[in-house]
A and B are shown apart, each in its own frame.
Chain A
Amino acid sequence: MAVVVEAVGLTKEFPGGHRPAVDHVDLATEEGEYLVLLGPSGCGKTTLLRMIAGLERPTEGEIRIGGDVVNGLPPRARRIAMVFQSYALYPHKTVRQNIEFPLKAERMPTEKRRERAEWAAELLGLTRLLDRRPRQLSGGERQRVALARALVREPSVFLLDEPLSNLDAKLRALARDDLKDFHERVGTTTIYVTHDQVEAMGMGDRIVVMLDGQVRQVGAPQAVYERPADTFVATFLGSPPMNLVARDDVIVGFRPEKALPAEALGGGLDGHLRWTLEVNRIEYLSGDRHLHGVAEGLGKPTPVIVRLPATVLLPIETGTTHDFVVREDDLCWFDAETEQARERPAG
């Protein structure tokens, strides 16, 4: 049975910090969930993870693991396992000794320990590397050793702190598959910290978007992407980000790929908002065309980006003006003052 991790009003202030690193965070995982903490550097996601691990003492608030309050418990009493960004392998120990270390700390008998370590090594394809030392391994292999060390004593929660950021791009894509695949097999509740939205969108069952120590939005990747809770989430996710156009006391937003040239649709513009784009620059990126220009007719004239999929063949030149449409259901509305999502204004 997978375990639930909860944070209640969790706050961490560091001496000398001008604001709390983590600011009254309320959060609960679901059983067996893959929860991703996403945010820019310094948003408090790693501090939050370290508090759950027991490496940082909260200033305020509660952490519960499996229903028990664990504030004040040392990491070893929390049945968690953590993979660090640097992997933090013990450089003087062999792969086998690294993997066995948590079991040794549990005082498991030598025979059983050996067996478990070999099981974990097998699971991650490390069997032939057991007698090597970390410095003789590649980045990807080190990362797998760190995972093996984390899973060997079957923790109730996995905490992963940017485990892929030290890998090169190609390896990262592979490791992402491995991690996800691994999670599906063991089904252990996992909290994963990253600043990479591609990792977050691709791996998370749910995403927690953080900024300045606060949770801005929690939700499934699609929900967070399509219905951002505020303008920060709207622009932090997506590349290029959501276009935001000021209009009286509201802000209207739409994703670059949600806009289409009116001609491409032919007729049937019911339920669409019509506006014009003066194209200043065109970027051709992996088949898609990114049109940079100024939008008029949505609100104040505003620079926006429109992403035309490779399937739209309509010729568009720099310096020309075209009619564009966005489905009204695809529009997001924000309050101009609070920048929070709101209902579509009447009229």
Chain B
Amino acid sequence: MSVRLADREGLLSRLMLLPAIVYIVALVAVPFVVAIAYSFSDVTAGNPGYDWVGLDNYRDNLEDPVFRRSLWNTFFFTAATVGLTVVFANIVALLLTTDFRGKWPVRFLILLPWTTPAALGAIAWVFMLDSLLSPIDWILWQVGLLEDGRHMVWLGKSGLAKASVIGVQVWRLVPLAAVIIMAGQSAIPDDIHDAAAVDGAGFWRRLWEVTLPLTRPVIAVAVLFGSILTFTDMSVVRVLTNGAPVNQTQVLASWAYVKGIDGGNLAQGAAVAVFLLPLLLAATIAILRAVRRWEVT
């Protein structure tokens, strides 16, 4: 009697896990270890020989005002993006769960940004925010908020450029967050809303005292995902401003790319990227704990 492969569960489970393990080792673990190793070396694109330099790269980075601005921008953009995303996503989720004529096309359009790759979306926004051709400027002319023929130059001024980066990130993340929050909202039984209405609560009291507290766990999930996706994203800044004006909008990820790939200083770039680690670690732990709690209850 022969034992078939399908009966050997131990072997089978290992075989099935193999692709995932290969993927993680080759594309996550190896680059991660290499990045940390490089950050303590003087490796450049021109001279790939490995020489240990200790904390020199970190010291240089910390003394570099562009790096410090990138570090600050990364946190600031993430906080602002996530904050605005949660507000808008809640509004969108409430709108999407209400019954109205033509809600299907509206849902489709609202969710569209999420299906667009970040880089493509950013390219579209480069046009929207163009210094001469911006349709937004044109709209501002039509409604009289901007003098005819004048331009906002969205991506050319520090404040506006930062606002633009945050705006595009929010545009990109709201659909995902809205879908997550919508799932949480639709999990609240109708009876609870009816009871609140009978108990005399108006729209705002129901929102603050019933809907939001009951969706808090899923909002936390949306915050977590939003934070990771914004914190680690380089494509929006890279495509939209490429750090302009004069590195005012640089973030860690884009600055690591500028230093390491554009500039060829792999060691310094790696040292910049390592600064992403603490927050990602904290977020990962938070996710794992949340997942475990869901499994328990």
Which residues in A have some Cβ–Cβ distance to B below 8 Å? 50, 53-55, 74-76, 80-82, 84-86, 88-92, 101-102, 104-106, 149, 153
Contacts and interface: CB of A to CB of B under 8 A. Distances in A.
Q: Which 3 residue pairs are nearest across A and B when measured between Cβ atoms?
A: A76-B200, A88-B191, A88-B195
Given A53-B194, A55-B197, A90-B209, 17 more contacts: A54-B198, A75-B197, A75-B200, A76-B198, A76-B199, A76-B200, A76-B202, A80-B198, A81-B198, A88-B192, A88-B195, A90-B196, A92-B213, A101-B199, A102-B200, A105-B199, A106-B200
Interface in B176-215: 189, 191-192, 194-202, 205, 209-210, 213-214
Contact of B194 (A55, A89, A102, A104): A55
Contacts of A102: 199-200
Contacts of A82: 194-195, 198
Given A91-B214, A92-B213, A105-B205, A86 B198 contact: no
B189 A86 contact: yes
Chief secondary structure at chain B's binding surface: helix
A149 B194 CA distance: 14
Interface residues of B, number: 17
Contact of B201 (A76, A81, A89, A92): A76
B214 A84 contact: no
Contacts of A89: 195
Interface of B: 189, 191-192, 194-202, 205, 209-210, 213-214
B191 A86 contact: yes
A85 B199 CA distance: 16
Contacts of A53: 194, 198
Contacts of B213: 92
A50 B198 CA distance: 10
27 contacts: A53-B194, A54-B197, A55-B197, A55-B198, A75-B200, A76-B197, A76-B198, A76-B200, A80-B198, A81-B198, A84-B194, A86-B191, A88-B191, A88-B194, A89-B195, A90-B196, A91-B214, A101-B196, A101-B199, A101-B201, A101-B209, A102-B199, A102-B200, A104-B205, A105-B199, A106-B200, A149-B195
A29 B205 CA distance: 32
A92 B191 CA distance: 15
Q: In this complex, which of B200, B201, B209 has the most chain A Cβ atoms within 10 angstroms of its Cβ? A: B200
Nearest to A53: B198
Contacts of B201: 76, 101, 105
A104 B210 CA distance: 13
B193 to A, nearest CB: 9
Contacts of B214: 91-92
Contacts of A81: 198-199
Contacts of B199: 76, 81, 101-102, 105, 149
Contacts of B194: 50, 53, 55, 82, 84, 88
Nearest to A50: B194
B191 A84 contact: yes
Contacts of A149: 195, 199
A105 B214 CA distance: 18
Contacts of B191: 84-86, 88
Contacts of B200: 75-76, 102, 105-106, 153
A96 to B, nearest CB: 14
Contact of B192 (A75, A90, A104): A90
A84 B197 contact: no
A84 to B, nearest CB: 5
Nearest to A159: B198
Nearest to A76: B200
B142 to A, nearest CB: 40
Contacts of A85: 191
Contacts of B196: 90, 101
B189 A88 contact: yes
Q: In this complex, which of A53, A54, A76 has the most chain B Cβ atoms within 10 angstroms of its Cβ? A: A76
Contact of A90 (B197, B198, B202, B210): B210
A75 B196 CA distance: 9
B220 to A, nearest CB: 14
B186 to A, nearest CB: 16
A80 B198 CA distance: 7
B25 to A, nearest CB: 43
A93 B161 CA distance: 44
Contacts of A106: 200
A149 B198 CA distance: 11
A94 to B, nearest CB: 13
Contact of B197 (A74, A92, A104, A153): A74
Nearest to B201: A105
A47 to B, nearest CB: 13
A54 to B, nearest CB: 8
Contacts of A54: 197-198
A274 B191 CA distance: 54
Nearest to A101: B199
Contacts of A88: 189, 191-192, 194-195
A76 B195 CA distance: 10
A170 to B, nearest CB: 25
A212 B15 CA distance: 60
A58 to B, nearest CB: 16
A144 to B, nearest CB: 15
